[in-house]
Amino acid sequence: MHKAGFVNIIGNPNVGKSTLMNAFVGEKLSIITSKAQTTRHRILGIVNGEDFQIILSDTPGIIKPAYELQESMMDFVKSAFDDADVLIYMVEIGEKALKDDAFFNKITNSKIPVLLLLNKIDMSNQEFLEEQVQEWSLKVPNAEIFPVSALEGFNVKEVFSRIIEILPESPPFYPKDQLTDKPERFFVNETIREKILMHYKKEIPYAVEIDTEEFFEEENIIRMRSVIMVERDTQKGIIIGHKGSALKRVGIESRKDLEKFFGKQVHLELYVKVNKNWRSDQRQLKRFGYNQK
């Protein structure tokens, strides 16, 4: 008997959704930072076994959209309800509730099995943990609750086993050697964006989109050229930094990560371009892989 299905991870920003997905897949498919809105897309991570295939989706954290890009991000979250066989609703220790009632009601009324993962328990104590489990079991009575630490891998295996139990009988949806639905260039873009989230402040990371124009694999090296797009001239200056030092750091750190990810030497050329208001431009958003409508 072969089991397969879709397991979709949703929750507030910054609760550890991407960390969990990477822990399951065993690869860094989703970038992780301590900032909200690190994840902008719905990313599939496929875990293959002899007699199962789990297709996980990592989604952006749930927010009230303020501009077109964020609306498209929330469409990715909505789509995660449509095809799920299992919903993972992730919350973190001490968190109150989803800020969005509509999403919250969808979870509590879900016909699909819901696993509520109470994450970051490495930062808690037993007493508070028990209190929290109690509280969540009242709030989401249709869920099975698992206290976990996605970062330290605590209880992650148990969740994994439970998912396999619940999954329907089905042939695989993807070839058994496939790890994700995203092309190689996507991971180049995301790696660079992670460094920008890490090293620049305030609105800068939110004004940035990456476009990898060239990805050319030779026998011993992969050559890439990527554009860092910003919305204004002043942002361009900040990205580049004094004598190019800030941009250089982004390049060096990205290249190191990409060499690890692809298992090959990487040559990465970066440049910065102003692209006014790309975040509110439907046509451009589409080109960058947002807007699924």
Ligand X SMILES: Nc1nc2c(ncn2[C@@H]2O[C@H](COP(=O)(O)OP(=O)(O)O)[C@@H](O)[C@H]2O)c(=O)[nH]1
Candidate list 129, 133, 151, 198; residue touching ligand X; CB under 6 A: 151
17 is in an annotated binding site: yes
How buried is residue 268: exposed, middle or buried, by Cβ count under 10 Å (0-12/13-18/19+)? Answer: buried
15 scored as a contact of ligand X (CB under 6 A): yes
Candidate list 6, 25, 28, 38; residue touching ligand X; CB under 6 A: 38
19 scored as a contact of ligand X (CB under 6 A): yes
Cα separation, 132 vs 130, whole angstroms: 5
39 scored as a contact of Mg ion (CB under 5 A): yes
Site string for ligand X, 77-106 (x = CB under 6 A): ------------------------------
Cα separation, 117 vs 200, whole angstroms: 31
The stretch near ligand X (CB under 6 A) out of 33-41, 78-86, 96-104, 177-185 is: 33-41
Candidate list 8, 12, 18, 132; residue touching Mg ion; CB under 5 A: 18
241 scored as a contact of ligand X (CB under 6 A): no
Tell me the longest C-alpha to C-alpha distance in the chain: 61
The pair of three-digit structure tokens given for residue 77, joined into one six-digit string = 């979250």
CB nearer to ligand X: pick between 149 and 235: 149
Cα separation, 70 vs 63, whole angstroms: 8
Residue 149: CB minimum distance to ligand X, A: 4
Could you give the dihedral angle defined by the CA atoms of residues 20, 24, 25 and 30, in that order, rounded to the nearest 10 degrees?
0
Nearest CA to 30 among 292, 272, 257?
A: 257
Q: Which residues are annotated as a binding site for GTP?
A: 11-18, 58-62, 119-122
Q: Which residues are annotated as a binding site?
A: 11-18, 58-62, 119-122
